[in-house]
Amino acid sequence: MVKDIVLKTTNLRKSYGKTTAVDGIDLSFHTGEFVGLLGPNGAGKTTTIKMLSGLTKPTDGSITYFGLDFHSNQRFAKGVIGCVPQINNLDRDLTAYENMYHHALLYNVKDDSTNEKIMIALEFADLINYTHRQVKTFSGGTMRRLVIARALLHEPKLLFLDEPTVGLDPQIRRDIWDYILKVNQVKNTTILLTTHYIEEAERLCKRVLIINKGRIIAEGVPDTLKKDMGRYVLEVFKQEGIEERFFETRNEALASLKECQETCKIREVTLEDVFLKLTGRRIDA
């Protein structure tokens, strides 16, 4: 049903001079989906988010929200999307509450219930204890949480998260994952998350789009994408580098390991292997 499609793009393209950042991508997201856009540095993830959120104009292609053209329905579209940019853009001299209030003014959601809405959003983000503290005193993870809470204040149907956990330590990263999953599950908010962390894409996303050099080179459920490779990898450490051999079962990998003269290790297949097979290089290389 068309109504169920939150966002659709056709042949979306962006060039900066001679650089083609996004090279004709077609996206289609349904209500409540959790989609990952996974790709290495410079793949075109941020440029895609910037076009989808109206921060930069596409060179070509179309974007629709709920079947309505973005360009001619900007006010409507901007009301249904929330955006967490790659670089935090909080006002560091203001408190958490003041940053939220500022957003309410910008999005014209200021009314008698604004205070209540801000407190509910801060509570949902587990930030109540930070309400009246200046942002410059926050840790990186707490700032990130606040940027997400702020993007949700006007209750968007679709949330863009551009590298939400980059630079955070593993525990804080997991806390942010829990928060994002809660947003998706409790509020049924459709989420598009960009990342170059394999584990993040595999843990959170029901569907993954793999992007490289501005093009979507693979798309699907993480498990299905991986299954095509086999389930287990035997890494053989040779002088010239690591050789990877793929197997359907752990027992097959073990049998091969027993015959190995070199140092070997068995691990499960990841989306990194999928990317390597498709492009010949690693995502975080």
Ligand X SMILES: Nc1ncnc2c1ncn2[C@@H]1O[C@H](COP(=O)(O)OP(=O)(O)OP(=O)(O)O)[C@@H](O)[C@H]1O
Q: Which of 36, 44, 46, 184 binds Mg ion (CB under 5 A)?
A: 46
Q: Does 282 bind ligand X (CB under 6 A)?
A: no
Strands 5-16 and 19-30: antiparallel
Is 86 or 88 the residue whose CB approaches Mg ion more closely? 86
Only one of the segments 4-12, 45-53, 138-146, 150-158 lies at the binding site for Mg ion (rule: CB under 5 A); that segment is 45-53
Only one of the segments 57-65, 84-92, 103-111, 238-246 lies at the binding site for Mg ion (rule: CB under 5 A); that segment is 84-92
Binding mask 37-76 for ligand X (x = CB under 6 A): --x-xxxxxxx-----------------------------
Is 85 or 230 the residue whose CB approaches ligand X more closely? 85
Helix (H) or strand (E) holding 161: strand 158-162
Q: Are 96 and 135 in contact (CB under 8 A)?
A: yes
Distance CA 69, CA 62 (A): 7
Please state, in angstroms and as integers, the Cα–Cα distance from residue 134 to each residue in 85, 130, 152, 279, following that order.
20, 8, 20, 45
Distance CA 38, CA 95 (A): 33
Only one of the segments 2-10, 14-22, 65-73, 177-185 lies at the binding site for ligand X (rule: CB under 6 A); that segment is 14-22
Please, what is the minimum distance in Å from the beta carbon of residue 166 to Mg ion?
Answer: 9
Please, what is the minimum distance in Å from the beta carbon of residue 12 to ligand X?
Answer: 12
Binding mask 131-160 for ligand X (x = CB under 6 A): ------------------------------
Residues 6+ apart with CB under 8 A from 146: 90, 96, 99, 100, 125, 127, 130, 135, 138
DSSP string, 184-244: HHHH--EEEEEES-HHHHHHH-SEEEEEETTEEEEEE-HHHHHHTT-SEEEEEEETTEEEE
Please, what is the minimum distance in Å from the beta carbon of residue 49 to ligand X?
Answer: 8
For the chain, percent helix, then strand, then coil, each to nearest 5? 40, 30, 30
Is 47 or 99 the residue whose CB approaches ligand X more closely? 47
Binding mask 20-39 for ligand X (x = CB under 6 A): -x-----------------x
Nearest to 283 by CA among 217, 232, 236: 217
Residues that bind Mg ion (CB under 5 A): 45-46, 86
Residues that bind ligand X (CB under 6 A): 16, 19, 21, 39, 41-47, 86, 196
